[in-house]
Amino acid sequence: MSKKSFYTALAITFFAAFGVQAQQDPVFSQYMFNTLYLTPAHAGVDGVTRLTAVHRSQWLGYQPSFGGGGAPVSQMVSFNTPIYKLRSGFGTYILNDVSGPQNNLEVQTMYAYHLGIKDNKLSIGIKAGIYSQTVNGTYYRYVDSNDSQITEGRDSQIKPDLGFGIFYRSEKYYAGIGFNHLLKSEFDFGADQTRSALENHVNLTGGYYYDLSFDLSLQFATWVKTDLNETSVDLSALAYYKNTMWGGLSFRQSEAITVLLGYSFLKDKSLRLGYSMDYVIKDQEAKQATSHELLLSYELPIGPGTTKKIVRTPRYRH
């Protein structure tokens, strides 16, 4: 397949079906509850063992004008836990992201070392794993349909992946940074001239908590994501009532306004269910108006052998 044919086919598919998507990593609206995705340094920082599952349906109901694949869908399952004896934490996640003709699958494992700074915590983490990319050639519209190197079916490749991060938190605020795809692994799918590399991605996140009363508190959060070419910013504000229910609004730069809602179940509030709905405010003619996301997390009970006592507050564990 010629370079011109391949890139023209790729451009037509993504511009017509999904618009311009410069950044390769998927977006999640409930990022403030999914910090492990943003930086590996968050592994074990909260002092609890947590399981989290997220499902996101973007532009729900969208159908492409040609080909197939439908609207983007992302799913992630993660696990992280502190390792008290080593002053560190362990984490892992599996991420599945489907965007039309392309399916990306990540399996990442991470380790973070925690440093105590007075009453605060500085964490440095690294993650390593595999990144699998699958392309379905039947979903592309090719310029030269007689090209002998056209992929008519599915083709997959698996490459190594590496990331690094730093996270700092106190009782009132937190900040973190994560660097993804440091190896810039390439996927050539059998044709050297059509190599496609994973681009470096940087995630910056931060937040601040403010108590209005004993029962009511506010959280302000942000997520800045960039592939060093394009940058996008999320700004969010949430209100928590008795650490049991929450709601808020978020704004994604030049993309969408988001409503966030959630509720904590069980006596110890260890089971949390969150929901968000994005309303697209830009380029609606090329998309469907809403995206929907569900998040479910569960914190395992503290075992009797745990040597470090965990003090529970509405937002911080130490």
The structural domains of the chain, with segments of one domain joined by +, span 3-299
Read off the pLDDT of residues 17-28 as tens digits, 9 standing for 90 and up.
333 345 689 999
- Place 288 in a pLDDT band, splitting at 50, 70 and 90: confident
3-299 belongs to which homologous superfamily? monomeric porin ompg (2.40.160.40)
* Residues 41/13, Cβ–Cβ less than 8 Å: no
- In this prediction, residue 143 carries a pLDDT of 63
Give CA–CA dist 230/154, Å, rounded.
29
Whether residue 318 is predicted with pLDDT greater than 50 in this model: the reply is no
**Mean pLDDT value across residues 63-77:** 78
Read off the pLDDT of residues 86-130 as tens digits, 9 standing for 90 and up.
999 999 999 999 987 889 999 999 999 999 998 899 999 999 999
Model confidence, pTM: 0.83
What percentage of residues in the chain have a pLDDT greater than 90?
A: 61
Whether residue 51 is predicted with pLDDT greater than 80 in this model: the reply is yes
Give CA–CA dist 26/24, Å, rounded.
7
Whether residue 16 is predicted with pLDDT greater than 60 in this model: the reply is no
**Mean pLDDT value across residues 70-87:** 94
- Place 148 in a pLDDT band, splitting at 50, 70 and 90: low
